[in-house]
């Protein structure tokens, strides 16, 4: 607690390199695992986190690439992982698992791109996606709002949902064009204290230079 007001820290992390990353495929809900490099990245991240944080909770997407990353972190820090479907990546419907070229030929975007209220076939729109992020964040913050101490939560997810959580965290408009860059095992630190919301840092990857 600082100045009599409890602090919440959200350590938000993207998974390590996945098989789809190196094959140039649309991932989304396609459930690709980590590569060997991805697992190495997660191991380095876990050691870096252990030196700096004590987590009250680790929450992750159940998709393999995030699940593996979170379990490596949990193992290093001797903590269980809670899985939450609302942290899954954008539901990209028929695009899931397709190569970029195949997707472009089979399901070309409409002229000017899809609007935020339009969904890809069998998928979700950006409005749906944002709503899911809002639901996750609101529910999480409500569940810990009465704590009297500092609470630090680790969230392991995907680039797209992390952008949506970022927009939700900052109360950005639904049609904003603000995107958050997140590389393999990139780490973001967001802080809440009272009515103040602070982005402490974004996409930190210094752990990748460490030798295991």
Looking at the DSSP assignment, which residues form a beta bridge with residue 195? none
Structure tokens at 129: 């996606």
CA-based nearest residue to 157, from 6, 7, 11: 11
Respond yes or no: is residue 101 known to be catalytic: no
Residue with tokens 């419907």: 93
User: Of these residues, 9, 15, 27, 71, which one is catalytic?
Assistant: 15
User: Of these residues, 9, 27, 68, 89, which one is catalytic?
Assistant: 89
Respond yes or no: is residue 135 known to be catalytic: no
CB 196 within 8 A of CB 170: no
CA distance 72 to 29: 21
CB 210 within 8 A of CB 44: yes
- Say whether 99 sits in a helix, a strand or coil: strand
CB 88 within 8 A of CB 158: yes
- Give the catalytic positions in this structure: 15, 89
């Amino acid at each position: 607690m600082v100045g009599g007001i409890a602090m919440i820290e959200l350590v938000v992390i993207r998974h390590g390199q996945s098989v789809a990353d190196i094959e140039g495929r649309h991932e989304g809900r396609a459930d690709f695992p980590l590569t060997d490099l991805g697992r190495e990245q997660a191991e380095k991240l876990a050691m870096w986190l252990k030196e700096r944080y004590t987590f009250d909770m680790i929450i992750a997407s159940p998709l393999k690439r995030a699940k593996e990353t979170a379990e490596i972190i949990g193992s290093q820090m001797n903590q269980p992982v809670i899985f939450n479907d609302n942290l899954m990546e954008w539901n990209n419907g028929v695009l899931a698992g397709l190569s970029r070229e195949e997707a472009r030929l089979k399901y070309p975007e409409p002229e000017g791109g899809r609007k935020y209220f339009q969904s890809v076939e069998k998928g979700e729109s950006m409005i749906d996606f944002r709503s899911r992020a809002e639901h996750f964040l609101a529910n999480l913050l409500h569940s810990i709002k009465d704590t009297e101490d500092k609470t630090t939560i680790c969230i392991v997810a995907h680039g797209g949902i992390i952008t949506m959580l970022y927009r939700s965290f900052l109360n950005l408009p639904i049609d904003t064009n603000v995107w958050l860059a997140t590389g393999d095992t990139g780490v973001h630190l967001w802080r809440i204290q009272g009515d103040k919301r602070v982005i402490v840092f974004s996409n930190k990857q210094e752990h990748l230079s460490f030798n295991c």
